[in-house]
Amino acid sequence: MIQVAIIGAGFIGPAHLEALRRLGDIEVVALCDSSLEAAQRKAQALNIAHAYDSVAALLAHPGLQVVHNCTPNHLHAQINRQILAAGLHVFSEKPLCMTAEEARELVALAARAGVVHGVSFVYRQFAMVQQAAAMIRHGEVGRIFAAHGGYLQDWMLLETDYNWRVDSAQGGASRTVADIGSHWCDTVQFMTGRRIVEVMADLSIVWPTRKAPVNGKATFSAVHEAQAYETRPVDTEDFGSVLLRFDDGSKGSFMVSQVSAGRKNRLAVEINGSLCSLAWDQEVPQRLWIGHREQPDRLLSDDPSLLRPEIADSAHYPGGHIEGWPDAFKNMMGHFYQAVRAGKMPAAGARRFAAFDDGADVMYIIEAIVKSHQEQRWVSVER
């Protein structure tokens, strides 16, 4: 059994745990959280044997091989450094860190450490995203003209919606672009095989101040009750529009929002090529729309027998059995742990999960988007 620890047990930590337990040969032996009391309570609830309130103590746990960093954004860089210094394989939540400078440092540290390193860009793990990427790679879409779409949510629509991500000291200089736009950028680069090289951004703060609950319960909390609030200033965007230029000369655009009423988690990508168009919507993940000019459009389902052979293993059940976000998460962990079992990173062309260099690449894009908005001009992505 591969011995694993998780640092951070908020919203995303248990999702990592669930996916790991579905793999069969992974044992999550330890959990670290912000206090020992919280760690012990969550470890007991999640049936994890050991609890820690210190990252250093957790990293010294006997037999530990892999650590998952599921902490808030502002802690990612330092904890990733600590894991690498301990010589352990590391899987980090996105964003990889808070700045492009930190990203470059972490990529170099990971290479020197010689460990397996991954970043949680999960949407590339959906079967139909894999199918779209394979179709583009094999020339079935033709010459790519454009890629466009967006990622829309509504969980920050109200003035009383609050979360630690609102505070730039914890979430970073960008919120909506970094939180969900990062997923869109990684997904579109993965699907097209092209890199974003220039951006023009216009970002917007819908609520200049927000009412934060004084009891600390965030909007993601499942408990809704009468609360007292305090007004806090907002310095991170709720909404953004971005124009793109890719390295092959094709163009694109995307919109991100956490204030679009009725849109819960709509990541959508459309690719327009000379032979056909492809479109995928994360809220209907089992379908890939294939658009034509001179023949009927098609809807391809994620039946393994209908997919390209090299990606059929991304769909695990017969057609009609809907697979979603937890299944893509399982795919991601499965590919990462194949590398852990081998004891080394796969070659970039053979790697089936996002690594630190992918996480760093998205940080470079985010930094360019923020700079573009601040200076109101086209900005090149500095890699």
User: CB 217: neighbour CB atoms within 10 A?
Assistant: 15
Q: What is the pLDDT of residue 220?
A: 55
pLDDT in tens, 234-256: 999 999 999 999 999 999 999 99
Q: Decide: 182 and 311 in contact? Cβ < 8 Å.
A: no
In angstroms, the Cα distances linking 162 to 95, 209, 213, 239, 311 are 20, 10, 8, 15, 39
Rg over alpha carbons for the chain, rounded to the nearest Å, is 21
Is the pLDDT at 299 greater than 60, yes or no?
A: yes
Strand-pair partners of 272 = 146, 277
Confidence of residue 217 (pLDDT cuts 50, 70, 90): low
Confidence of residue 221 (pLDDT cuts 50, 70, 90): low
pLDDT in tens, 310-349: 999 999 999 889 999 999 999 999 999 999 999 999 999 8
Give the number of C-alpha atoms closer than 13 A to the C-alpha of residue 351, restricted to the C-beta side.
Answer: 20
Higher-pLDDT residue of 311 and 290 is 290
Confidence of residue 291 (pLDDT cuts 50, 70, 90): very high
Tokens 């379908």 belong to residue: 287
Give the number of C-alpha atoms closer than 13 A to the C-alpha of residue 318, restricted to the C-beta side.
Answer: 0
Ordered domains of the chain (ranges, CATH): 2-119 (3.40.50.720), 124-321+355-380 (3.30.360.10)
In angstroms, the Cα distances linking 266 to 58, 184, 256, 341, 352 are 37, 10, 10, 35, 24
β-strands 266-273, 26-32: how paired? unpaired
Give the contacts of 24 (CB within 8 A, at least 6 positions apart): none
pLDDT in tens, 112-152: 999 999 999 999 999 999 999 999 999 999 999 999 999 99
User: How far is residue 142's CA from residue 272's CA, in Å, rounded to a whole number?
Assistant: 9
